[in-house]
Amino acid sequence: MKKGQLYILTSLILIVIIYGMVTIANQTSQESITNDFKKLSNNYANEGSRLINAVMKDGGDPITVVNTFRDFTRSYTSYLKTQSADFGLIYVFYYTGIYPDKGYLYIGNYLNMPMLVSYDKENYAFIDGCYEEIPVGIGYDGISLDLRPDALDVEKCEIQLPSGDAISINKVYVTIGGYGYTFEVKPGQPEIVIVSREDTPEQRQVFVGGSFVPTTENTVLFSDYCESDTSLPGNECDEGTICPTAYLTKDDCERDNACTWDNPNKICKNVE
């Protein structure tokens, strides 16, 4: 990263931190979780867009834009962890670059569980969760900002879709646990999907742009992915590993007919 781009990134992250500390500190206990998530989402989208425009104006090529945006998101996630441990997030960035109506979808999974993602409801990709790999790097007693978010070991939790030629994308389809969610994307508009961490999937809440996203019908489950032609050879679909990897709760586990819940050990297992 160029020195000028690093300065821009650092400055914008500091703006996000100062804004967030002021707004969150002034919240009252009566405010709903939806309002809280909306503020966080809007803040991320606005500052993320400013960052992208600043890097492009500075002469950054598409690769630099995407990499700088990823660094920004990692630092922002680190900051959010100081605010609450009750939610994780997914970032979604549809970047068209030099194309007027075609581009690539960049997604990062900073939840404590893996997810499936698709742009056409046919070709799904598995993305591991990296919640634990993101450090709590910024606190109220002073700013302790890691200026090397690119050094974090989270590449396994980030993906570019498609792997081939750029295409036009309007919606994103994800599976979290045993439930599916759908939301729209816009070119050049970064979004964070905030997922509350609840004891049961029924209490799980998913927000995009501060708006609640309901579950969808006909969810593609992890066993469906492993049986499809789009799954790639790898540990996630090795025999006997997908169920304990993908499902952390009994309800999520039992929604997938290929899995069974081991109550004494509190773990999801593949049906033998």
User: What residues contact residue 109 under an 8 Å CB cut-off, 6+ apart?
Assistant: 90, 115, 127, 128, 129, 130, 157, 158
CA–CA gap between residue 207 and residue 241 (Å, rounded)? 29
Task: For the chain, give the secondary structure using H, E and C.
Answer: CCHHHHHHHHHHHHHHHHHHHHHHHCCCCCCCHHHHHHHHHHHHHHHHHHHHHHHHHCCCCHHHHHHHHHHHHHHHHHHHHHHCCCEEEEEEEEECCCCCCCEEEEEEEECCCCEEEECCCCCEEEECCCHHHCCCCCECCECCCCCCHHHCCCHHHEEEECCCCCECCCEEEEEECCEEEEEECCCCCCEEEEEECCCCHHHCCEEECCEECCCECCCCCHHHHHHCCCCCCCHHHCCCCHHHHHCCCHHHHHCCCCEEEECCCCEEEECC
Q: Is the pLDDT of residue 24 over 50?
A: no
Please, which pLDDT band fits residue 161 given cuts at 50, 70 and 90?
very high
Q: Is the pLDDT of residue 10 over 60?
A: no
% of residues, the chain, pLDDT over 70: 76
Mean pLDDT (the chain, rounded): 78
Write out the two tokens for 1: 């990263």
% of residues, the chain, pLDDT over 90: 30
- Summarised one tens digit per residue, pLDDT across range 128-159 is 998 888 877 654 344 444 545 555 678 889 99
Whether the CB-CB separation of 240 and 270 falls below 8 Å is answered with yes
Write out the two tokens for 230: 């789009």
Which is nearest to 87 in space by CA: 37, 43, 151? 37
Residues in the chain: 272
Q: Is the pLDDT of residue 125 over 50?
A: yes
Q: Is the pLDDT of residue 6 over 80?
A: no
Residue 262 CA, chain-centre distance (Å), reads: 29
7 phi/psi in degrees, rounded to 5? -65, -45
Q: What's the pLDDT score for residue 172?
A: 95
- Summarised one tens digit per residue, pLDDT across range 40-92 is 777 887 888 888 888 877 777 778 888 888 888 888 888 777 777 777 889 99
Please, which pLDDT band fits residue 38 given cuts at 50, 70 and 90?
confident
Q: What's the pLDDT score for residue 52?
A: 82
Q: How buried is residue 98: exposed, middle or buried, by Cβ count under 10 Å (0-12/13-18/19+)?
A: exposed
Please, which pLDDT band fits residue 5 given cuts at 50, 70 and 90?
low
179 phi/psi in degrees, rounded to 5? -130, 150
CB atoms within 10 A of CB 259: 23
CB atoms within 10 A of CB 162: 14
- Summarised one tens digit per residue, pLDDT across range 196-217 is 876 666 778 888 877 888 999 8
Q: Is the pLDDT of residue 164 over 90?
A: no
Q: What's the pLDDT score for residue 61?
A: 79
More confident residue, 65 or 113: 113
pTM: 0.80
Question: Could you tell me the end-to-end alpha-carbon distance of the chain, in angstroms, rounded to an integer?
Answer: 50
Q: Is the pLDDT of residue 22 over 50?
A: no
Please, which pLDDT band fits residue 266 given cuts at 50, 70 and 90?
very high
Mean pLDDT of 9-24: 50
